[in-house]
Amino acid sequence: MRLAIGRDGIGLELATPAFLECVVIEELTTSLPGMRFPVDVSGGVARFRHRRGALQGLRIAVLARVVERWAAPRLRGVVSAATPDVWIRVGPARATVCVAAPPEESSAEPTSASPWTVPPVVAFDLLAIAEGEDLQLVVTHARGAGLPAAPTAIALACVRAAFGRAARRSGTIFTLRRPAEATARALFPDAGARVPAVDGVCWSAFSVDRDAWILTATQGSPPAEPTSDAVRAREIAQILAVADDTLERGDTNEARTQYLAALERAPRHAEIAQRIADIDARTPERAEAALAALAEAAAREGGALESSLVEAELLVRSGDVDAAMARLDRGGAVEPAPVLAARSFELAARLSSDPEVRASWLDRALARSPRLATARWARVHARLALGRLEDALADVEFLEALGRGRAAKCAVWQAAGRAWQAAGLGERAGAVFERALRYEPDDPAALMGLGVALAAGGRAARGAALLERALAIATAAGQGAWTIEVVLATTLAEHLDDLPAAIAHVSSVPSDAPEGAVARGLEGRWRSRIGDATGGALAYARLRDLAASRAARGDDDGARQMVVFLAEAARFEADVRRDDLAAQRHLAAALRLAPHDADLRRAYRAAGESRIRRPRTDAAAPLPFDEDAAGAARIDDLTRRLQGNPRDGAAADELVRLLENFGRGHELVALLGARIDEASPAERPSIVDEARRSLDRLRLRASAAGRDELAALCSDALTAFAPDEPTPRR
């Protein structure tokens, strides 16, 4: 502080600008009432600091870049678990704020296939109004993508987290109580002077200087004239105060009801329609109603509303993809927040099926926000599809720079290697995986990727050795190694022609593992190749049991793989084992997962016709007594019960007896194998003994009836179900 002497008397003022949290106090002047000339000022500030003055003027600079750094840690946990990226652009009595998940949080490749699942980002406007000695900030035009709640609720949470108790909220209006007094209380005690009186100090002017907001307060001056946008925003904020408070508490249904009531009072108001649409966008069946509300509000405004992402999502749900892309194009072009504008272009790219068009959209997205990791990953895939390998590699190197720490950078190059493989560039993926191993030399996933790439490039032995090393490291670390087990088995079978070793690896994968279905399908395929028809049939039967436990009409990659293997199993049963009934059962399980597959339906009908035409052989000859209709119905009923509850021991025991009595050997072996696989270590010995007794009885009866193939099946199963069978490695 320094002593100021002027025509009107003596006072104290700032000697130099002072920083106060995120603002700069550029000017601050006070007067000392009651002081008359002549007066002795030889003591300087120390002589007068005990006197209480009156604040005359105050000028504060709010620097956007400083506020961004100040606010970021305070907003941790609002839109992202990590400290978010904050962007601010100032304007006359207003600011546009954007809060987004940091790019390094999503530097690894995204896994969601939904076009609307993106890292969260919210943008909103803050409009300033001088209200006497107070300062009001009105939150308006909230919009965003990938948010866990409506954008307005997230925007309110951001402002509340930034200001804490310094501001009082009513709806979307935040009031800073007497900020001039708070400034004086923060500065004067530290300077050893009394806090001056601030009565009558009003905020008289708002201005902008490059990226700074300049706020001026003056003693006795009238408040600054509000902008028309600020007046309108405060007016609708007061109308929606109760509804916004309800929304902020998380009661979206009640908030929607209150917004609808407000829309009746202020018909076709754009801000109200937007908030209703933000809620309805989270409920698929309300898409048409939300679009209608937005259209009415847009007609009143004379153009489209700002929240392009919500409207585009609703248009996609209604089936109008072209209109959605046009809306995203228009919205991204006018959106001031770089991350949100880039999201618009990125989502438009996801709606396009042409790699060239996608790459063009993504170029626009990254021009607005170069650190947008999801868009850059999308451009990696688009460039690979176009054969622009060097450009794709440059994008991956940029993503590597975004990653923090060796593990994150390793994950980037692993994902890049998988992208190269998915694009059919398996031989070239080796160099990509090698860059991952620079950061984590013993990372099992990176070793697995490099091993697969080497095998695809003709170096199968080296690739298998790396896969074995990856398997050993993962197993020693207690990590799930079943994927590596399947990949190693595939390499042994397809590149080194070592089918027995490949079978040994996949047979150790438990059926309840995520890779269990693929393992059973590969086991059946490879056993049939080496002539082990019984083992192949058993593996395929276990695959069918897994398919029966999946949700009907599964359209994920796992379901599609099951369908392929089940169709293969049906051909095996029909062509090799000449068992059309088993072929039909495999196809029925496949149709349950893919009910609209015309090829499967044709194969199912052909198997049924072949079953009718095929003459009965010894393998199909009856036992001393045939299966009757009641027995067949009971078997089907028990099978359904076990599918619903695999732990139903009574149903399993009865089904074993029926299958044994009616000579349905393949089903019996599959059921007994499944029971042994699912048994606990304590239950396993007794279940194995029961299974062997049942199989031995059926073997003897089959031999007596001349059904040599069934007897051989039972003999092979007895060997497979030996009491000293080692526990599968996990």
Domain assignment present for residue 111? The answer is yes
CA distances from 56 to 132, 180, 199, 371 (A): 15, 10, 10, 46
Per the structure, how many domains does the chain have?
2
What distance, in Å, lies between the first and last C-alpha atoms of the chain? 74
Q: Which two tokens stand for residue 561?
A: 């793989």
Q: Which of 186, 221, 238 is the last residue of a domain?
A: 238
Q: Which of 188, 208, 238 is the last residue of a domain?
A: 238
State the DSSP string of 351-400. T---HHHHHHHHHHHHHH-TT-HHHHHHHHHHHHHTT-HHHHHHHHHHHH
Given this model, what pLDDT does residue 623 score? 45
d(CA 440, CA 558): 29
473 neighbors 444 (Cβ within 8 angstroms): yes
Domain assignment present for residue 472? The answer is no
d(CA 205, CA 130): 9
Rounded to the nearest 5°, which phi and psi values hold at 274? -65, -40
d(CA 318, CA 361): 23
Domain assignment present for residue 529? The answer is no
Q: Which two tokens stand for residue 170?
A: 């009513």
CA proximity to 716, closest of 702, 729, 727, 704: 702
CA proximity to 674, closest of 529, 516, 506: 516
CA quadruple 224, 228, 232, 233: dihedral sign: negative
Given this model, what pLDDT does residue 478 score? 75
Rounded to the nearest 5°, which phi and psi values hold at 264? -70, -35
543 neighbors 524 (Cβ within 8 angstroms): yes
Given this model, what pLDDT does residue 728 score? 43
What is the model's pTM? 0.72
677 neighbors 721 (Cβ within 8 angstroms): no
d(CA 671, CA 601): 26
Q: Which of 217, 238, 259 is the last residue of a domain?
A: 238
CA quadruple 128, 129, 135, 136: dihedral sign: negative
Domain assignment present for residue 636? The answer is yes
CA distances from 128 to 166, 210, 236, 728 (A): 16, 18, 15, 69
Domain assignment present for residue 641? The answer is yes
- Most distant CA pair in the chain: distance in Å? 134
d(CA 335, CA 145): 13
Domain assignment present for residue 304? The answer is no
Whose tokens are 């305070």? That residue is 74
Q: pLDDT under 50 in the chain at which residues?
A: 302-305, 553, 616-626, 725-730
Domain assignment present for residue 524? The answer is no
Domain enclosing residue 678, as ranges:
627-720
- Count the neighbouring beta carbons within 10 Å of the beta carbon of residue 412: 25
Q: Which two tokens stand for residue 89?
A: 């652009």
Which residues are within 8 A (CB) of 606 and not within 5 positions of it... i.e. 6 or more apart?
A: none
CA proximity to 523, closest of 479, 492, 496: 492
Given this model, what pLDDT does residue 159 score? 96
State the DSSP string of 305-350. -S-HHHHHHHHHHTT-HHHHHHHHHHHHHH--SHHHHHHHHHHHHH
Q: Describe the strand order of the beta sheet including 121-131 as a list of residue ranges.
A: 85-91, 94-100, 121-131, 134-145, 173-176, 167-170
Given this model, what pLDDT does residue 392 score? 94
Domain assignment present for residue 126? The answer is yes
d(CA 415, CA 420): 9
d(CA 147, CA 136): 26
